[in-house]
Each structure stands twice: as C-alpha cells, then as structure tokens.
Amino acid sequence: MEDNPFPAIMGRVCYHPCETACNRGQLDEAVGINSVERFVGDEAIRQGWTVSVDVPPTGRHVLVVGAGPSGLSAAYHLARRGHTVTIREAGPMAGGMMRFGIPRYRLSRDVLDAEVRRILDLGVTLELDAKVTDLMALKDEYDAVFLAVGAQLGRRTYIPAGSAAHVLDAVDMLRDLETGEKPLLGRKVAVYGGGNTAMDAARTAKRLGASEAVVVYRRTQDRAPAHESELAEAEDEGVLFKWLTTIKQVDAGKLVVERMELDDSGFPQPTGELDELDADSLVLALGQETDLSLLDGVPGLVVDDGVVAVGPDLMTGCPGIFAGGDMVPYERSVTVAIGHGKRAARHIDAWLSGAAPEPVARPAPATFDTLNTWYYADAPRSHRAVLDRARRESTFDEVVLGHDESTALLEARRCMSCGNCFGCDNCYGVCPDNAVIKLGRPGESYLIDLDYCKGCGLCVAECPSGAIQMFPEEI
C-alpha cells in the first residue's frame, strides 16, 4: 500500500510485465505475482484493512481532475503526504475506465468500490457530475492541479453506411452498459479493431446474447495490440476473428469487407478482393482520444498529437499543472496510470514545498546469473482457476478466480527473493573461516568479519538469492 492503492484491482487487470521479468521464469515458470497481489488485495478488503495519514496537514489544496485510476492514485498519495485533495469527476461514479471501460467479468464492481472507498476514507473530497470546463477559472483556488481526464472519445473512421446500418462505438457501449442501458446489438455482432477494447466489446456482446461475435482487424493476429491473455480468453469464449480484413461498407444486416495483405514494411495493403459478412450491428473499437476542451487558454500547455506534453516530472508547460494517465504520451494501461498518479504526487509534493523530490532508490536488477537456484525447492506454478465456459458466455461473473490462502502462500513462497537476503544462514554455514557473523537484526542479518575473511567468494557463490557481492579492494 506504500506504492499502490489498488492491489485487488491490479491483481485482476494488470498485464503483469513483472512476471515477464521474473527470474523464476528461467528456472521453471515465473512466480504468479499477479495472483498473489490479488489475494492480498482481497484479504485487505475482507478484513477491512485501512491506511492512515501519518504526517501533519500541510494546508495545501490540490485539485485532481478525473476520478480514474491515475487521478485516484494521485489523490491517495497526495492525501498521505498531508495535502487536502479535491477530485472533480465529470461522470456519475468514480473509477474512470476501471468502471466504464473494463467489463465486470474482469473486475468485480464490489472490489472497485471497496478500493475507491479506502481512498475517500483518507479525507479526499470527491465531486461527481462536476465536469471541469474552464481550468483557468478554477486554477487560482488551488495550489496545484493534476489532470487525469483519460481518453474516452472513441476514434472514428469514415465508412460508407446505409441508412438502416447499426453502427455504435465500443467505449459508448461499455459505458452505457455500466449506467444500466442495455445496447441493442442483434444476433450477429461485428467488432472493428484489434485492441483490448475490441476484445471487451466482443466478449460483452456474447454475454448480452449475441450468437456470433466477430472481431474484424486489418492486420494479423500477432500484430494485434490486444494483450495475449485477452485474445486467448476471447477465443475460449467463442469469439471469432477475421484477420487481414477491412470494412468497406455497412448495410442493414451485412458488411462489405475487403481482404488485406501485409507489405514488406508490415503495413496492410488492400487487395481488391471483396466479401460479405452478415452482421446486425457494427461496434467500432479503433482507439480512443482525449477530450481536451477544458485546456483552452491554459498558458504554456502544449498539446501534441492529441495528448498533453509533460516533462519527466509529469508537469505540463504551465507551472503547477501536472498531467498523467491516458492523456499523456505513454503506454495506456491502468498500471501505468496508477504509476503516474504516484509519480505526479511525489513531484507535486516537491513542487509545493520548493524542495527537490525525494530520490527514488532503484537497486540494480538482480539478474538470474547471480542466483544459486540449487537451493530452491522444485515448485510448479499454481494457476488460477477460470469460470466454466457456459457461465462465461451468459453472465458477467468474474472469469478468473482467486487463489485460496494456502495456494496463495505456496505461490508467494516460490519467490526467490532475488538480490535480497532472506536469512537462510547459508553464508554462515559455508564460510570456511567463520568470518560470517550472525547479527539477527531485522534488515541486517549478517556481517562479514573482514579480519578473518580471506576473500574466497564461497558465500557469494552459494548465496541462493545473489544478495552478497564481492568487490576487489582498492590498493
């Protein structure tokens, strides 16, 4: 909770790049970090764990625009640093894309509500249905502003459509569903696009009763931006795919599509081969853009290619206005957005106090070759169970289930603690010269007695986690 206010949410929707980097992947299979995070997050909700503000109030007031993952994360970290925070949200509920973009079957709304509640309990003020239209008018009331309005305008493309054609936008469809409106899609639904939103739209269409959901994408599967796991889950649920295909025209009940082929640079080129595809409706999932109208007249603020330019400290060209999440030029994911919230809070805090931001200590990555994996027991990874297919096709129940306590503990114990001493006493045992002294203090377990150490390097070679380093003495 020092870093991330949303463990239960991240344990569900994060694409866990940490598991790709996990050293255990080179031994058997990466530790299920995401599943353990989810277990801990769920346990925190179940047992009602709370966080506290441990510093006196600073008297500074920060405005956060947008109650999505980035804004909420910034509010959390700012509040914990003693600042007064007000969030203004244009929509009727907090959560942003976590609520209006990610369907329930990937993120239970109870979990979302609980983790948002924990942030508001820190004393953060949340104003709903309070869209900011003129930022400059508000700016003087606050000491700093963090913009995190996201990107929720569905990108359009021109497709000739007949008068009876039924075309709608994926972002609108997912949002309407969340506010209680059931979109009319018909029996056969086509989704245009190859990203995660396209997968969400197609899987949602199946759940709403469509007998057939087809994803139409102009490139190949390996070039689709959708995450591998989401593609696989969509495929499991019977979503169909038409790769290398564009839509030329939309009519009532059918689409005219064109076959594409990739040129040498990997760009799809039309072939002229046309085909027809039965579809009662077409859902566009071609990417999202940010509504930047509130930024009109903000001096110094630069918008480039539809997103707001920021420095490494996430400050815009206008002093005191910071921005993060989907509206700045980084990878668009909940994970990145939450990280931006924390980073912005750190820099806003520094900016308000006039001090340099506290440095972030990042130790060098502990690489696989520094480990001695002999000492780790063979332990295959525990994978999370998934809901039965029949229930996945007809309900919005969560698809991926959580671990129980013993499985989560077992999975957590697979961690090899790379680069960090876990007090196994191996160095103490193997040292031929009794030069390792056991201190037994937390965080400071051992000391090398350099009067006796002859520098054989045995402790370094036999340290399971690569936590001991030996450097040549300067002579």
Partner 1 sequence: MRATDGKLLAVNSTGCLEVFSTPYPESSWQLPWLHSLFGNGPAVAAGVAAALRARGRDDIRVIGQAGDGGTVDIGFGTLSGMFERNDDVLFVCYDNEGYMNTGVQRSGATPPAATTANTKALGPEPGNAFGQGKNVPLIAMAHEIPYVATATVAELRDLEYKVERAMSFRGARYLHVFVPCPLGWGAASADTIKLARLVKETGMFPVFEAERGEVTEVSRIRRQVPVEDYLRPQRRYAHLFGDPGRPDSVARLQASADRNIARFGLLPEGTRDGEALRDHPRHRLQPCQQDRLVAHRARGLHEPDAAVQRRLPGRGEHPGLALRG
Q: Could you list the residues that contact partner 1 (CB under 8 A)?
A: 374, 378, 429-430, 432, 456-458, 460-462
Are 65 and 54 spatial neighbours (Cβ–Cβ below 8 Å)?
A: no
Closer residue to partner 1 in complex, CB, 303/458: 458
* Pairwise CA distance, residues 283 & 281, whole Å: 7
Closer residue to partner 1 in complex, CB, 365/429: 429
Are 167 and 284 spatial neighbours (Cβ–Cβ below 8 Å)?
A: yes
What are the DSSP calls for 415-472, one per residue?
---TTS-----HHHHH-TT--EEEEEETTEEEEE-TTT-----HHHHH-TT------P
Q: Where are the beta strands (DSSP E) in 279-326?
A: 281-284, 288-289, 303-304, 307-308, 321-323
* Pairwise CA distance, residues 301 & 143, whole Å: 17
Closer residue to partner 1 in complex, CB, 240/461: 461
Least distance between partner 1 and beta carbon 152 (Å)? 46
Closer residue to partner 1 in complex, CB, 272/380: 380
- Is residue 308 helix, strand or coil? strand
Least distance between partner 1 and beta carbon 429 (Å)? 5
* Pairwise CA distance, residues 107 & 99, whole Å: 8
Closer residue to partner 1 in complex, CB, 322/376: 376
Closer residue to partner 1 in complex, CB, 100/376: 376
- Is residue 3 helix, strand or coil? coil
Closer residue to partner 1 in complex, CB, 298/371: 371
Q: DSSP state, 369? A: G
Least distance between partner 1 and beta carbon 27 (Å)? 11
Instruction: Measure Cα distances from 279 to 7, 191, 365, 473 in Å.
Output: 40, 10, 50, 74
